[in-house]
Structure 1
Amino acid sequence: MTASEPWWKSAVVYQIYPRSFADSDADGIGDLQGIIERLDHLSRLGVDVLWLSPVYPSPHDDNGYDISDYCGIDPLYGTLEDFDRLLAAVHERGMKLVMDLVVNHTSDEHPWFTASRDGGADGPMRDWYVWRPARAGMEPGTPGAEPNNWGSFFSGPAWEWDEGSGEYYLHLFSRKQPDLNWENPKVRQAVYAMMRWWLDRGVDGFRMDVVNLISKDPALPDGHVPEGSRYGDGSPYYVCGPRVHEFLAEMHREVFAGHPRRLLTVGEMPGVTVDEARLFTDPARAEVDMVFTFEHVGLDHGPGGKFDPRPLRLTDLKASLGRWQTGLAEVGWNSLYWSNHDQPRAVSRFGDDGPAHRDRSAKALATVLHLHRGTPYVYQGEELGMTNAPFASVDDFRDIESLNHHAHAVADGADPERVLAGLRAMGRDNARTPVQWDASPHAGFTTGTPWIPVNPNHLEINAEDQLADPDSVFHHYRRLIDLRHTEPAVTHGDFHMLHPDHEQLYAFTRHDTASGTELLVLANISGADLTVDLPDGWEGTEVPIANVPVTGPLARRYTLSPWEARVHRRRV
């Protein structure tokens, strides 16, 4: 990496969901002190950046993504002094810390919203949020009287009637998460001031929650109503809306431009296209450094949406990821991820979480992802191969999205068992069960009662056992991260997909002209043996990393066992 290139191109980011990471005070909820006590685990793993999901004061309607105070720490997690100690401990270990920025919406308990609501239609902060009257001729508060027909991401309408002030407010997510009005420059300046406050405190950047939704078409037109739905799809009017690039460019000028430290900004952007991502991440435009795309994590959604899962075809996955590699090859940068706090566990979703292939498929998925061009993100527990949880009934779920979907779907006549099967496969609570530190009761997460039960398989999958096993999933992740740090072709090499139509083989090359190094990645993404023929010139090349031991010189043709992955290296 040249001195002029940003540090994050060769970095690996680790996401911490504080509620489920480590509990130091036995209340069953993770906290900042718990994170401090487990930082050496992350140092051993070798990650460069910690992304901290929200720890701000919140009513926790959406587990902290409903913020009631942007410049504080929720007492569940600790104090600002605890945060400062965490930040210092992270920096002492040579790592950086990125905060979660949630500014499409606030909590309805945020002082901005209470002033907006309680001041009435003519109040000074009314236009800090999106308020509209009922449809003409309709009785306010009745079905169909909403200002438009948009549906919420969390089921039901995207509007909530407020009796006291006589209007509806917009909430693309929970009714307790009212959307901010980014058309108002006072809102934008308040957000920028808050961001500068955290940067002055020493944080190293922001992951920006659904940031491409901040600009809405001011006309708020009705959306198309998909078959089988009672609500309209408003996404054409708020996904990458009319002023989103203007707003993000302004944010960069007001907050990041000229800052003495090189910071990291990543925008979570549902529905973003490759062409839009090129604009968002083009350094010359100065908006954000990289984006999270949702395209590859929507490939297994059926006609009924995410809770109607269908089998994923490897060719579809390769086509999607390959398109993003090509699209951002010359301009922009990719974020690479399988998992996060909103997605089910990678090994259960994309791999094979049965005992025969669980560890090997976790390693294969990691190998494929980390060898792509971009910045990899590791979600807590992914480095252990943690799996989806065995939810017995809807009573085992905690997440508002899952609970709302179940209530609405069953009320609309859906088969409860089919709805429950969808929640088990795709529910966000799969990612939120506590990190499995050891085989003790509650997996070493807490000595109290955890807010959500620990996965029973912590007896077989836990950090303590994996640290002692050099062939564990943990150590495979550690070796992959080390390879990214030491092999320029992983960071800078171009990307070329091989065998795009193969239903079993994931194969590609990475070539770095400056170092004269080329890598060949081969992974058998299946439970059956696969015979492969090496391309010309690759016989006998070294294998710097593999998830199955490689012995002796490699012939032109060999067999990859189920979920086997290996990386070849040669000098050209």
Structure 2
Amino acid sequence: MSTPELTVAAPAQDETPGSEWWRTAVIYQIYPRSFADTNGDGIGDLAGVTAHLDDLQELGVDAIWLSPFQRSPQKDAGYDVSDYCDVDPLFGTLADFDAMLAASHARGIRIIVDLVPNHSSDQHVWFQEALAAAPGSRERARYMFRDGTGIDGDLPPNNWESVFGGPAWTRTTDPDGRPGQWYLHLFDTSQPDFDWSNEEVREEFRRVLRFWLDRGADGFRVDVAHGLVKEAGLPDYTPDPDAGSMGGDEASVPYWGQPGVHEIYRDWHEVLAEYDGDRALCAEAWLPTIAKTSLWVRPDEMHQAFNFEYLETDWDAAALRAVVTESLRAYPAVGAPSTWVLSNHDVVRHASRLALTAENPQGSGIGPKSEGQPIPEVGLRRARAATSVMLALPGSAYLYQGEELGLPEVIDLPDEARQDPTWFRTKGERYGRDGCRVPIPWAAEAPAYGFSPDGESWLPQPAEWATLARDVQQDRPDSTLSLYRDLLAERRARSLGSGKLAWIDDLGPEVLAFTNSGVTVIANLGEAAVPLPEGRVILSSGPVDAGSIPADTTVWLEQS
């Protein structure tokens, strides 16, 4: 094969990032109940995080984002919070949190706390007080209580649907036994929405922010950051069935992305500014375009927003180039870094998603009866290649626990083992998110693959975990774990997070290629091999030989 010419296009990024850590950080998401269990109850805990900090330091991450560990009835795996300023006994104590944070900081790893401000648990003391209080009371004003419509108020206030399926309203029963008002829950019935027009709610969350900041937290990932404010009058709305469940509709949605949310985050920005150390806010904001998402990270609001458009982009060179170009235009234009993410606790793991043979059912999950089952060997190859692209991009990147092991989605979970509210609210029509939340494997020969000392596991682990366990991959230079370690080490050594991207043209329609800080990145997303340009191979996502880059492979090159 002939050596291709490299034609470098104009830079896609115009601004040099500042020095704050969150602009370039690689942040590792821990889903605590599935990370490591130290007490043998089959549920991961904070002590398990502390026990594996050396592993995370060796991996090379800059920060940890902890999915909810606050006190909760666990109806939605902790995203139903009953006490925002305490640790759920499932995960340990506040002392365990403090010990974990201190040990993390000692290793140069920052801690980001998950915060759930759109709704609380129905067991929260405020909601229990609201149920016992009369309509129009101060207690009810903290939540979205409304009178029903129809005869005797027997119909909900509007037609809104829950993200988890079914109606977004539940009717209460008054103390005298008669049917009462309705309350809004955009998620499960056990997750009533706060009324963010209420100053008491706003002040309570200022208190919550300061509670964790005072303990040393370095920032917050904000759950449903685009959903706190609802349009006045709560008008009926029927979402586009093809737009996704969390805000992907181009239309104005009366419960997503309302202008009033920006006032809330300007207020929070000021709270964080009271503390030293570049504390950060990251928005989980599912919005229809990158341009709209970038409004959440203007200089006086949040610091990062998840780039879900990148996560949802197909394995296609032109589509990926377009979303990267737009990201590196829109986010720096408001003074923020772009973030990059491929997997998290709500989506099908990318080692399976990228190899689906039918459209990805975002929000529904995949199971044994889903159409378009993934091809495992294709999925792992593409996952390694996709991560090798992502970690070469300027900005901040998020990793989801277990992806460094190449873990796929667990598809064959027994129906009786499933726990996601989506599964129950849709009567089994949607599998939900359990498949990406199965406890991860640490040791091939240990009980529960090293997750739990007694072999307990809150979701069943597949036999495949024995071949993917961390100890099996630890010393294998061709393992996915070794690839991640190498990617993170080179990314840091070459300052790729603070670099500038310039596209390389003319390598073919199925090739994605660019330079960043002296590194040439070439990803072959096609089915046939493409020529490998001259230069020293720094690393590759798969075997490269005979002067060519195989299908679904990414190479980092250094010009000699």
The TM-score bracket by the shorter chain reads 0.7 to 0.9
Structure 2 counterpart SS, 1:401: helix
Distance 1:330 1:241 in 2: 22
The aligned counterpart of 1:31 is 45
Distance 2:401 2:239 in 1: 37
The aligned counterpart of 2:68 is 54
Does structure 1 residue 561 correspond to structure 2 residue 555? Answer: no
Shift, 1:393, TM fit:
4.4
1:272-304 per-residue CA deviation (whole Å, 9 max, x = no partner) reads 532223322232xx111110133344557xxxx
The aligned counterpart of 1:236 is 253
Q: Larger relative CO (CA 8 A, sep 6+): 1 or 2? A: 2
The aligned counterpart of 1:163 is 173
The aligned counterpart of 2:287 is 271
Shift, 1:61, TM fit:
0.8
The aligned counterpart of 1:339 is 343
Distance 2:559 2:280 in 1: 32
Shift, 1:163, TM fit:
1.8
Does structure 1 residue 428 correspond to structure 2 residue 427? Answer: no
The aligned counterpart of 1:249 is 266
**Aligned residue type for 2:260:** R
Q: 1:383 aligns with which of 388, 399, 404?
A: 404
Assess, with a 3 A threshold, how the Cα gap between structure 1 residues 194 and 495 changes in structure 2: closer, same or farther. farther
Does structure 1 residue 522 correspond to structure 2 residue 522? Answer: yes
Q: 2:513 aligns with which of 507, 511, 516?
A: 507
**Aligned residue type for 1:273:** T
The aligned counterpart of 2:8 is none
Give identity over the alignment, percent.
Answer: 36
Structure 1 counterpart SS, 2:214: helix
Does structure 1 residue 219 correspond to structure 2 residue 222? Answer: no
CA contact (8 A) 2:441 2:468 kept: yes
Distance 1:272 1:500 in 2: 31
Does structure 1 residue 456 correspond to structure 2 residue 463? Answer: yes
The aligned counterpart of 2:198 is 184
Q: Which region of structure 1 is more displaced relative to structure 2, 439-448 or 471-480?
A: 439-448
Structure 2 counterpart SS, 1:295: helix
Structure 2 residue ranges without an equivalent (≥5): 1-14, 357-373
Shift, 1:236, TM fit:
1.1
Does structure 1 residue 404 correspond to structure 2 residue 425? Answer: yes
Shift, 1:525, TM fit:
2.8
Distance 1:43 1:246 in 2: 37
CA contact (8 A) 1:272 1:294 kept: no
CA contact (8 A) 1:140 1:161 kept: no
Distance 1:70 1:114 in 2: 15
Does structure 1 residue 124 correspond to structure 2 residue 138? Answer: yes
Shift, 1:125, TM fit:
2.0
CA contact (8 A) 1:322 1:497 kept: no
Assess, with a 3 A threshold, how the Cα gap between structure 1 residues 225 and 488 changes in structure 2: closer, same or farther. closer
TM-score calculated relative to the size of structure 2: 0.86
1:92-142 per-residue CA deviation (whole Å, 9 max, x = no partner) reads 11111110010011001001111222112132222111111112x33434x
**RMSD of equivalent CA atoms:** 2.8
TM-score calculated relative to the size of structure 1: 0.84
Distance 2:514 2:332 in 1: 15
What does 1:1-12 align with in structure 2 at a 5 Å threshold? 5-12=19-26
**Aligned residue type for 1:326:** R
Size of the aligned set, in residue pairs, is 518
Distance 2:136 2:168 in 1: 23
Q: Which region of structure 1 is more displaced relative to structure 2, 349-358 or 316-325?
A: 349-358
Shift, 1:492, TM fit:
2.2
Distance 1:495 1:125 in 2: 56
CA contact (8 A) 1:101 1:208 kept: yes
CA contact (8 A) 1:437 1:443 kept: yes
Does structure 1 residue 146 correspond to structure 2 residue 145? Answer: no
Assess, with a 3 A threshold, how the Cα gap between structure 1 residues 211 and 505 changes in structure 2: closer, same or farther. same
Does structure 1 residue 546 correspond to structure 2 residue 540? Answer: yes
Assess, with a 3 A threshold, how the Cα gap between structure 1 residues 297 and 492 changes in structure 2: closer, same or farther. closer
Shift, 1:317, TM fit:
4.2
Structure 1 counterpart SS, 2:471: helix
CA contact (8 A) 1:98 1:203 kept: yes
**Aligned residue type for 2:528:** D
CA contact (8 A) 1:326 1:495 kept: no
Assess, with a 3 A threshold, how the Cα gap between structure 1 residues 501 and 275 changes in structure 2: closer, same or farther. farther
CA contact (8 A) 2:17 2:337 kept: no
What does 1:467-482 align with in structure 2 at a 5 Å threshold? 467-482=474-489
Assess, with a 3 A threshold, how the Cα gap between structure 1 residues 443 and 235 changes in structure 2: closer, same or farther. farther
Shift, 1:83, TM fit:
1.0
1:401-448 per-residue CA deviation (whole Å, 9 max, x = no partner) reads 2332344x4xxxxxxxxx6xxx3xxx4112110111121242111124
